[in-house]
Amino acid sequence: MDNKSPRAPQEQTVFLSKDGEVYRIPSLLYNGDGKQFLAFAEQRRTTNDASTKYLVMKTGTLKEETPDVKTIEWSELKLVKEALLEGHRPMNPCPVYEKTTNTLFLFFICVKGTVSECWQRFWGCNKARLCYITSTDAGQTWSTVTDLTDDPKLAKIKTWATFAVGPGHGIQMQSGRLIVPLYGYAPCSTSCSFIMFYSSVPHALYLYSDDKGKNWQFSNMLQTKSVECEMAEIDDNTVYCNARSEGGYRVEAMDENKGAGLFPLPPANKLVETGGGCQGGVVSFPAEGEDTNPNKWLLFTHPSDPSKRVNLGVYLNKSPRDPFAWSTPWILNSGPSGYSDLAYIGDGWFACLVECGELKETEQIAYKVFHYDDIKPAEGTEKKRKL
């Protein structure tokens, strides 16, 4: 495909916002066996985080129009009413799929009433709960809620000002380990709870299970200040973490010790953070032409502007252990662009779910399907193309 002219990514609205009904926080999971997508989001009354009503979902089927054009056929929207705790609002959908038992875990947090994250950080009073539901039929039916907040193995939740999973998607590693990314606001030592807001610092970590989701525990926290994150498996069962910062550049980290903790990679100033920060999507995939090779490359999506949520860029890294190896961004979506999530479809194809619009990024959540040939560097140069 190298000699063919670039094709425009296929795009279609998945969740469309309107007055009194705003969709935010996209999450995308792809099951290659059934060529089926699962798209999740928050349904809100307004753009305000505290106005979330339900988690919603759609299923999508991959369609090949021509060898060079792939599209996704989406189902009708479904409210995931099982993802609720009485008196709480659900937030941050983060699915992970356990292949051997065909079990889909949908993790999320439930926050009491309309309590904001800022309030929890200020008072050091955690009002979030760690929850999941499961499905063995691709989301057609769901279990009741499992609330892990009081699990003794997860007792450190009680020490956090607040926390959240993802958002985005979790992963299952080659070893079978399930991983759900999250971040927690850990307070520094202080005798005055009133200044907890100024003392609570966010740190990325992950929740993991080695017994197909029966028991869960936390990795150690990344000591570098870091917020919303996504993770991918690279070589040798190594976990790669890409996390939001509060300005400047993204935080990158790895964990090679199977839960011992994430350690930061050297700052390379290659992945720009946007304004006060924005979530980004990351996925690993087989090195070009090596679908059976254990060596993985990384793809990352994030607004490419240093100040505004505009121009969603796709960044490529062929040496995931090297933070200096990221390419310059190829612009997948021009204009307003917010949170995003990625899935690798196979044979060099990817799907991206992204908040976007004409005037602001909260107008819709749309999908785009594109191929590696569209983004890989041209010979001796970096390729950057706006649509």
Q: Which residues are designated catalytic?
A: 49, 339, 355
Backbone φ, ψ for residue 235 (5° rounding): -85, 155
With a CB cutoff of 8 Å and minimum separation 6, the contacts of 94 are 27, 106, 107, 108, 165, 166, 167, 168, 169, 170, 180, 181, 182
To which H or E segment does residue 231 belong?
A: strand 229-233
Backbone φ, ψ for residue 2 (5° rounding): -60, -35
Q: Are strands 349-356 and 364-371 parallel, antiparallel or unpaired?
A: antiparallel
In this structure, which amino acid lies at residue 309? R
CB atoms within 10 A of CB 285: 21
| Tokens 């988690």, located at residue | 55
Total count of residues recorded for the chain: 387
Count how many Cα atoms sit within 13 Å of the Cα of residue 321 in the half-sphere of its side chain: 8
With a CB cutoff of 8 Å and minimum separation 6, the contacts of 163 are 109, 126, 128, 130, 157, 182, 183, 184, 185
CB atoms within 10 A of CB 380: 5
Distance of CA 310 to the CA centre of its chain: 18
